Amino acid sequence: MQASSDKKKSGAENIQWDLSDLYESPSDKKLNEDRKKVLELADRFSQSYRGKISELDPKTFAAALAEYEEIIQVIRKIGSYSQLIWSTNTEDPEFGKLLQQSRELGSEISQKLVFFDVEWQKLSDEQAARIIESNELKKFRHYLEVSRLYKDHTLSEEAEKVMSAKSVTGRSAWNRYFDETLGAARFEFEGEQMTEQEVLSKLHNPDREQRQKAHQSLTKTFHQHSRSLTFIFNTVLADKFTNDKLRNYNSWISSRNLSNQTNDETVDALVSAVTGSYGLVQRYYRLKKKLLGYDELFDYDRYAPIAKTTKTIHWNEAREMVLDSYEDFHPEMGKITSLFFEKEWIDAAIKPGKRGGAYSASTVSSVHPYVFMNYDGQLRDVQTLAHELGHGVHQYLSRKQGELQSSTPLTTAETASVFGEMLVFNKLMSRIDDPAEKLALLISKIDDTIATVFRQISMNRFEEKIHTARRTEGELTTEQFSELWYETQHQLYGDSVKITDEYRLWWCYIPHFLHTPGYVYAYAFGELLVLALYDVYRSSERNGFSEKYMELLEAGGSDWPHNLVGKLGLDIKDSDFWKNGLRLFEYMVEEAEKLAETV
């Protein structure tokens, strides 16, 4: 690590992915061939099976599912490529057109295939059970069990076709507009025009004046776009309300819980446990205020490092940190991770028009995942790299389950990513002897854990309020959104952090609220689960744990989450499970308090 007060090159300026394993370019002849192929496959599937699902014996049903899986693979390959290339430059009209074409094609394919789900849902429970329990369908058992959960929420074939057709010009269109609005937005900072991601990164700067300037820059541009962003939020919330009513869901979160293969009671227990521990967050920020020497801690101070120097961690150093940590845990994990670097499956360069944030895209089971991020050379970027590569390893291993069972529900999707962060963090901690350095790293980890657990649950509480308000009061004003944001943030921070008037508007840039309503609690779920997993890993003296863990990743979504995690000795259905994870977080705060007394 090299310390400097000047901006240093991160080494990731030219780290861009090679998408040729999907398609060579938007004009690739293979892409056009696959567009035609998937339409032909879908038409053939419809001709063979439409109106006949109730007549299929297990052997024929298995053959139908294999054909169905092939169609899904082709359309996902097309969709993955268009989404990935557009993410790198949301201002390029060619990429935008490609993305829209793939979404329209996806909708068309969905309309051709929807009969399959509708007819499957109409089977009696007895007939469905005979299919599910047959030897021929053993491979697809979990997929079939999960799909039956939607029996009471599936509409008629014609209605489902309309829902699919309208989605292209509905929520997905507004999501694209949101992404392109913020992707094209420029934020003035010290005379320069910067991207959202570049300015957000300055909130982690040790210089308080820099953080204040970044805070002002972000707020100013958010305010300039607030009218459009408010309208987008209102429209997406209304769209979800309409869909929930049509599909007979009891609440705004019910469909998300169902897709996460969990129930309202489990989620409520998680939310209650975390909100009931908000006092830990406030206790920590009082410590951080003391360490920083401030009379008052403002919202723009939350991620301030306690070290006084700016350290740029070069991309190559970050790469080695992650590879070493993953290799030490399990050789196969290290081997898979190295492929992402060697074969250029990562896009890390920050550039104009590129989407903010980070993700790992599983693409399709016949190819491999790709990792997307904006690497700026900060310690948190190393953790983000570890996080997304954890997803990548998970997705790479689970490909063997096929298109229908490789993906996991969101609740366990964050397990590998957060565990990867924990491996890197503990590797770094083990190398440090100086208490001051150890404290600085621990503070950074606690900041991340608060952001992952407590802040996400506070955002879940914000979602609860805005969905409820939109459904009962109608369209909301910018000020109403901002007041609900302030209310839920103040509940989290209490008087330990002073929330500025400017911060009231900061709900408007968070994409999860729009792209995946209800998503955010999955981060808390994953973080607390990983704290418990890591505790087992350490206490078991690592006896066979890494092998069982790799088996968990390889299983993907082929079984219920509680069954998969149960093989590692944890019961996520136990209402007290979350309290254990929170106790482990409390130990981190206590360790920080003890270290603070020695420096």
pLDDT tens column, 403-421: 999 999 888 888 999 999 9
pLDDT tens column, 289-324: 999 999 999 999 999 999 765 578 899 999 999 999
| Angle subtended by helix axes 315-329 and 331-342, to nearest 10 | 150
Helix (H) or strand (E) holding 192: strand 192-194
What average pLDDT does this structure show over 556-569?
Answer: 91
Q: Which token pair is 542?
A: 């690592």
pLDDT over threshold 60, residue 2:
no
Instruction: Kindly indicate the confidence band of residue 539, based on its pLDDT and cuts at 50, 70 and 90.
Output: confident
Q: Provide the CATH number for the domain formed by 19-169 in this structure.
A: 1.20.140.70
pLDDT tens column, 265-281: 889 999 999 999 999 99
Nearest Cα neighbor of 217 from 234, 233, 237, 201 is 201
Q: Which of 32-46, 84-98, 136-150, 296-310 has the lowest mean pLDDT?
A: 296-310
pLDDT tens column, 201-245: 999 999 999 999 999 999 999 999 999 999 999 999 999 999 999
Beta carbons within 8 Å of 332's beta carbon, 6+ residues apart: 550
Diameter of the chain by CA atoms? 74
Mean pLDDT of the chain: 93
Give the chain's radius of gyration (CA, Å).
Answer: 24
What average pLDDT does this structure show over 508-523?
Answer: 94
Where are the chain's structural domains? 19-169
> DSSP letters of 159-183?
HHHHHHHHHTTTHHHHHHHHHHHHH
Return d(Cα 38, Cα 72) in angstroms, integer: 9
